[in-house]
Amino acid sequence: MRAFLKQFGLFAAIQLAIAVIVVWSYRRQYPSAQNYLAASIDKHALIRTQEPPRLIFIGGSSMAFGVNSAAIAEACGRRPVNMGLHAALGLQFMLNEVEPNIRPGDWIIVAPEYQQFIRLGQSEMLVNMLEIDSANARLLDRHEWAGAFDTGFIQRFGKIARAVIGRPGRFFRKNTMSRSTRLYYRRGGFNQNGDIVAHLNETPRGLREKEFQFRYRDEMVQETIAQVNRFAKNAEAAGAKVFFSHPPLPREVFQKNRATISRLDAELRAKLTVPQLDSAEEMVFPVEYFFDTWYHLAAAGVEKRSQLLASRMAQRSKGENVAR
Amino acid sequence: MTFTTLTFLIFFTVVFALYWSLHNRRAQNVLLIIAGYVFYGWWDWRYCGLMIAASFLDYFVGLGLNKTEAPWKRKLLLTCGLTGNLAMLGFFKYFNFFAENFQALAASLGWRVDPITLNVVLPVGISFYTFQTMSYSIDIYRRKMRATTQLLEYLSFVSFFPPLVAGPIERGTHLLPQFFKERLFSFQQAADGCRQILWGLFKKMVIADNLAPIVDAAFTNPSAYNGAELVLATFCFAFQIYCDFSGYSDIAIGVAKLLGFELIRNFAYPYFSQSVGEFWRRWHISLSSWFRDYVYFPLGGSRVSKPRMAFNVMVTFILSGLWHGASWNFLIWGALNGIGVLPDILRPQHSKRNPSEIPVEQPGAVAIFKVLITFTFICFGWVFFRAQTLGNALLVLERIGTSFLSAAGGLLGKHDATDGRVFIVLALLVALEWVKRAHLHPLVFDRWPQPARWIGYTVLFWTIVYLGTYGSSTFIYFQF
């Protein structure tokens, strides 16, 4: 037994040493303090320190790339906190980021991407968030921890290894991020309210990804609606108000998925307990309004969507004042 | 809990450490029972009830068979045991299939029958452990072994976690006695176990899981692909299922070795077979031999007339097809393989070579031709195995037949995430398995100096890290 453990330990130590070198090279090539997800550190600081009355935006990258939060907040006399970051984090994680920081009088717009209704957060992405800030551990629920242990940690390490081994020429180099990462997908690409602004003066690059397909999954949809309702109930108990908004989509993409999105919309109208600011169709824009993928709006799209949301929030604000 | 997860690594590390720190065989067996139920209950704790039911049913049937000599009583006891196991299997696995088909038959006769299907979830591995416990009762009935009165050892045997959910399907005669022996840690056995686990992980994570998206795309929507793409998808499935299933077996056997147990061999390089009969002696050996011993032989085996022998073969293969699942596709797949085996079986001097006697001599052109023909036939059967419906299977075959001479690049371009590297690795796998076909698994480099061996293992490990897929995909055979 002792001989086996000695040999096995030595072999494992060699692999561990290689792993350490791989991670070291990765960190040099892709410094995590400056990467896109590291913007969560600033967003968490913002939600802790922003003075009330506040308008908090929850969503994935469609929220990060998709609004002028200051203009919308101004329309209803509030200060913006845009928590939008990445759809793959999953809605539960996004809600968990905000819930402990809700203050009386907060207004919150929840605008999940359509995928949030049919998919959970990606374990690898959640492990990446732990890597960026270990304090994020408290934001993971039981299922997310199980996913992280099942596949997340291994997936994350696999991704790091692939990035390093796949490009041996860059092994000793620093900051080897792609052009788009250097320009937009970085911590410094956000403004002080949490909106991505680095891309606003750039020409839209066209949709590059695989075809968007929204496959309706009833069980997940019901669970997600219940999740938003639970969050709204807790927020209300803390003196805040929650609204729902739809994510933006290019017209062609929407048309292809009209049937399933309409089915989702019908469920939302029937079961969501929070007011809806818009319809799915109102958030459909020409493809030229999108920057590099569906959900990511370019400057013109950001302006249009923000105008619409600002007018809706202004109405809500007036309604509230009248009611008072 | 799946072998390819960090959760399993942590689980096994704890079990391994506790197991070898216990110096009492019975304490080790208790630990193995707890570990087995934790491992199995990880999917859904309610499944554990089924395993307990299957265990106790055959335990008491075994005790009853020990005590009675009257043939009719013995037969009655065995019938009770088999009925109980088959009822459990039938309810969870076949109820919906038969109810739906009965409804369709009634509708074709003009009767309207309300569907009575239930939304029953198939418990993971039920086909494996019920077959294991059934073989235990049958072997006692046949007086091949005595039933154990030791409940602890018996429960350890049924719930032993490495082969629990996807085999190899163990026999009481082989595995149970190992629970009564003191286990001594063997360096050679443990090191070999580690090598076999590494090889299993490589096959599963690098090859099977990288081929899966290509196969899934083509078989989910075959009408979107041409004949050449569907041929490629079928070829990919042949290696996906081989690497997935034999990968699981390798890991299970390796893990068992680390605990001081020897499981039976489940795969013996089946794609090097020169006939369909030989293929079935080398593929999923534990199931093939189960059907041979408990279905084919009782039907008369080959000691009957030729037509009766052919009938026996067909019944055995159709049942083996249905073991995989309740669908017409599996039935046809089983029947096809039965037909494929017939020429081999009906020959006057047919080969009865067992898998440990794999031919290792250099084959001539004729042998290579036979291997290719056998592989093509097996792939033809895989179309039925993999297609979601009979209609889809026929569509795949129709498109292969009508537009074979077309380009297959589209499928790979869209769904091969490795940019073709998986095919290079696959070619290396086939080459290595060919060179090492005399061994139980290919990672046997006894003549190499240790540094060279370790470099080889390190390259393999980092190939898994680099090319592996770490999704939440489970093993294909979990669904059976």
Report d(CA A229, CA B358) in Å as an integer: 63
- Check CB contact of B465 with chain A, cutoff 8 Å: yes
* Range picked from B10-24, B116-130, B353-367, B385-399 for highest mean pLDDT: B10-24
Q: Which tokens belong to B226?
A: 């041409």
A:115-174 residues touching chain B, CB 8 A cutoff: 123-124, 146-147, 149-151, 153-155, 157-158, 161-162, 165-166
- Check CB contact of A11 with chain B, cutoff 8 Å: yes
- DSSP letters for B37-101: HHHHHTT-TTHHHHHHHHHHHHHHHHHHHHH---HHHHHHHHHHHHHHHHHHHIIIIIHHHHHHH
Write out the H or E segment, with its range, that includes residue B311: helix B306-324
Question: What's the Cα-to-Cα distance from A224 to each of A115, A248, A271, rounded to whole Å?
Answer: 11, 19, 11
The pair phi, psi for residue B364, each rounded to 5°, is -90, -175
The pLDDT value given to residue B108: 79
8 Å CB contact of A150 and B187: no
The pLDDT value given to residue A208: 65
Q: Is B107 exposed, middle or buried (0-12, 13-18, 19+ CB in 10 A)?
A: exposed
- Percent above pLDDT 70 for chain B: 92
Domain residue spans of chain A:
36-122+183-323
The pLDDT value given to residue B360: 62
Chain B positions touching A18 (Cβ under 8 A) are 458, 462
Chain A positions touching B187 (Cβ under 8 A) are 1, 3-4
Task: Report, as an integer, the average pLDDT of B43-67.
Answer: 91
Q: What is the ipTM of this complex?
A: 0.82
Neighbouring C-beta atoms of residue A144, cutoff 10 Å: 21
Q: Of the given ranges (B22-36, B376-390, B402-416), which has the lowest mean pLDDT?
A: B402-416
- Check CB contact of A8 with chain B, cutoff 8 Å: yes
Name the residue in chain B with its Cα closest to that of A4.
B187
8 Å CB contact of B458 and A14: yes
- Check CB contact of A24 with chain B, cutoff 8 Å: no
- Check CB contact of B457 with chain A, cutoff 8 Å: yes
Report d(CA B141, CA B135) in Å as an integer: 10
Q: How confident is the model at residue B12 (pLDDT cuts 50, 70, 90)?
A: very high
The pLDDT value given to residue B480: 66
DSSP alpha helix (H) spans, A208-324: 218-237, 251-256, 258-271, 299-323
Can you tell me whether residue B267 is helix, strand or coil?
Answer: coil
DSSP alpha helix (H) spans, A50-152: 61-64, 69-75, 91-98, 123-132, 142-147
**Residue type for position A281:** E
The pLDDT value given to residue B119: 62
Report d(CA B237, CA B249) in Å as an integer: 18
Q: Of the given ranges (A81-90, B282-291, B310-319, B353-362), which has the lowest mean pLDDT?
A: B353-362
pTM, full prediction: 0.83
The pLDDT value given to residue A324: 39
The pLDDT value given to residue B179: 96
- Check CB contact of A218 with chain B, cutoff 8 Å: no
Residue B194's closest CA among B466, B457, B383, B475? B457
At B168-221, the pLDDT tens digits run 999 999 999 999 999 999 999 999 999 999 999 999 999 999 999 999 999 998
The pLDDT value given to residue A31: 79
Task: Classify domain A36-122+183-323 by CATH architecture.
Answer: 3-Layer(aba) Sandwich (3.40)
8 Å CB contact of B187 and A8: no
Task: Report, as an integer, the average pLDDT of B297-321.
Answer: 92
What parts of chain A have a pLDDT lower than 50? 322-324
Domain residue spans of chain B:
6-184, 189-274+353-479
Name the residue in chain B with its Cα closest to that of A145.
B7
**Residue type for position B390:** L
Residue B398's closest CA among B217, B227, B216, B225? B227
Can you tell me whether residue B261 is helix, strand or coil?
Answer: coil
The pLDDT value given to residue A277: 93
The pLDDT value given to residue A323: 41
Q: Name the residue facing B6 among A18, A150, A162 (closest C-beta).
A: A150
At B332-346, the pLDDT tens digits run 999 999 999 998 887
At A105-146, the pLDDT tens digits run 999 999 999 998 988 888 999 999 999 999 999 999 888 898
The answer to whether the beta carbons of residues A14 and B454 sit under 8 Å apart is yes
8 Å CB contact of B466 and A162: yes
- Check CB contact of B11 with chain A, cutoff 8 Å: no
The pLDDT value given to residue B469: 86
At B129-148, the pLDDT tens digits run 999 999 999 999 999 999 99
Of B324, B350, B439, B441, the catalytic one is: B324
Q: How confident is the model at residue B445 (pLDDT cuts 50, 70, 90)?
A: confident
Name the residue in chain A with its Cα closest to that of B188.
A4
- Check CB contact of B417 with chain A, cutoff 8 Å: no
The pLDDT value given to residue B114: 66
Interface test with B, best of A2, A5, A6, A7 (most B CBs within 10 A): A7
pLDDT at residue B460 is higher than 60? yes
Q: Name the residue facing B468 among A11, A149, A158 (closest C-beta).
A: A158
Can you tell me whether residue A190 is helix, strand or coil?
Answer: strand
pLDDT at residue B319 is higher than 70? yes
Report d(CA B292, CA B202) in Å as an integer: 31
Chain A positions touching B461 (Cβ under 8 A) are 15
Can you tell me which residue has the tokens 């077959």?
B131
Can you tell me which residue has the tokens 């030989």?
B278
Q: How confident is the model at residue B357 (pLDDT cuts 50, 70, 90)?
A: low
- Check CB contact of A23 with chain B, cutoff 8 Å: no
The pLDDT value given to residue B168: 94
The answer to whether the beta carbons of residues A278 and A308 sit under 8 Å apart is yes
8 Å CB contact of A151 and B471: yes
Chain-wide mean pLDDT for chain B? 89
Q: What does the CA dihedral B218, B221, B224, B230 come to, rounded to 10 degrees?
A: 30
8 Å CB contact of A4 and B20: no
8 Å CB contact of A151 and B190: no
Q: Which tokens belong to B168?
A: 């190899």
Active site residue B324: yes
Angle at A239 between CA A234 and CA A243, to 5 degrees: 70
